[in-house]
Amino acid sequence: MEIVLLLLKQNLIMAVYLLIGYFLFKKKLVGREGSADIGRMLLYIVMPVAVLKSYITDFSVEKLEGLAISFVIAALALLLSIILSRIAFNKEQGVERFGTAFSNAGFIGIPLVQMTLGAEAVFYVSSFVALLNILQWTYGILAMAGDRSAISFKKIRTNPIVLSFLAGLLLFFLPTGLPEAVNSIVVTIASMNGPLAMIVLGVYLAQIPLQSIFTDKIAYKCSLFRLIIIPLLTIVLMMAFPAKYLTIKLTVLIAAAAPAGSNVAVFAQLYGKDYTAAVKEVCLSTVLCILTMPLIIGIANAVL
């Protein structure tokens, strides 16, 4: 019960950040270009540093075992979400398939894990984030563009999240850590992830008439699968793993139960799809997750 209350508290704090972004756009203090710049800063600097920070820890066989387990659970959870997204939507609904399959594990999952389960738990959620990024640039592009030739493995190799994941693994295995001054910089930048991510989503929210967000049936269907059905079935999947891995399972579940990732809007723009529909899915699921996330984690905490 304690983790549910803590998660609810953190969700409310992140809702405040969301409202700040909404206010900044409405008052013309931040425009679309400004929010895009913040988004790029998150993608190329803040999120990779947050992932890297989770690996600044002493090596142990126990942690290595936990990392391997988190990777397996993350892979199974992502495979499940892809299958369910294909069941829920047809191939012409690429935006919906993408938004349903891929959660906002980086922008929302990492901060929530850090704030509810502690900084050490980010060590395990990074497996999910790295795999999600690889799948977005492969299956995600295929679902969105409908063309295998659009897939670029170079973009996967140079993806900042994937690179930070690999660099973090190297740090984990090396016997020496970072200098104190560098470590302090890493900690400070990583702490920016949650507030900046939600401010950007608040700017997205401000660009769409609120009434249209809450009256879109497809957005509700996407949110139902993303926030309820996929997380519940992920819990069932996790029951196959021993209870001693509870923290790891809750860590991956928070990432898997996060709302639709903001990248769905980026990819929709890139491939000439319905950008407005993508933003509605992101915003509606982000608002609703304030209620659904504590519910899902409460159920998981009781049965896992």
Is residue 103 classed as helix, strand or coil in its secondary structure?
Answer: strand
Write down the pTM of the prediction.
Answer: 0.83
**pLDDT number for residue 116:** 79
State which amino acid sits at residue 156.
I
Cα dist. 203→13, 34, 155, 178, 279 in Å?
17, 10, 27, 36, 11
**pLDDT number for residue 151:** 64
Average pLDDT score over the chain:
84
Per-residue pLDDT reduced to its tens digit, 25-60: 999 898 878 877 887 888 788 878 877 887 787 788
How sure is the predictor about 278, in pLDDT bands with cuts at 50, 70 and 90?
confident
pLDDT-above-90 percentage for the chain: 26
Domain that holds residue 297: 2-303
Per-residue pLDDT reduced to its tens digit, 150-163: 566 777 778 787 88
Q: How many domains does the chain have?
A: 1
Handedness of CA 284, 289, 290, 295 (dihedral sign): positive
| Contacts with 47 (C-beta within 8 Å, 6 or more apart), sequence order | 106, 107, 110, 129, 160, 161, 164, 193
pLDDT-above-70 percentage for the chain: 95
Phi-psi region of 118 (alpha: psi -120 to 50; beta: other; left: phi over 0): left
What is the rounded radius of gyration, in angstroms, for the C-alpha atoms of the chain?
Answer: 18
- Domain with residue 276: its CATH number is 1.20.1530
Q: Minimal CA–CA distance to 170: which of 56, 49, 66? A: 56
Per-residue pLDDT reduced to its tens digit, 216-246: 899 999 999 999 999 999 999 999 999 899 9
- Ranges 19-23, 144-148, 260-264, most confident: 19-23
Q: Minimal CA–CA distance to 98: which of 137, 126, 65, 128? A: 137
